[in-house]
Amino acid sequence: MQLHAVIIEFSYGSTDLDPLYEFEDRLEDAISEAGVGEYDGHELAIDGSGGRLYLYGPDADRLYAAIEYILNETPFMLGAEVCKRYGPAADDTPQETLTVDG
């Protein structure tokens, strides 16, 4: 099985992590309900300026489809760059990048 990824780079702009944790809970629930993979966690700049989220599963398109509505309705996700990677991390792995625009 090839492991695909959805990696989301976003601007956050706060050191209050409660909204991020609530958002992560919603992501985990949506991914689990759809049975499309797993949420692996986040990286966040120490000043809260921005970060990345990491999601993995067998199909990047299905994984993204399960969370797209949550991204579109979350204010700090607007403008985020989403990379759908169709296989393992390598220079020649196909990927698609899109922007969350609500």
Please name each of the domains of the chain with its CATH number.
4-99 (3.30.70.100)
DSSP annotation string for 5-60: EEEEEEE---S--HHHHHHHHHHHHHHHHHTS-EEEEEEE-TTSSEEEEEEEES-H
Burial code (b: 16+ CB inside 10 Å, e: under 16) for 62-94 equals bbbebbeeebeebebbeebebbbbeeeeeeeee
Q: What is the pLDDT of residues 41-98, one digit of tens each?
A: 999 999 999 999 999 999 999 999 999 999 999 999 999 999 999 998 888 899 999 9
- DSSP annotation of 85 reads E
pTM of the model: 0.94
Single-letter code of the amino acid located at 48: G
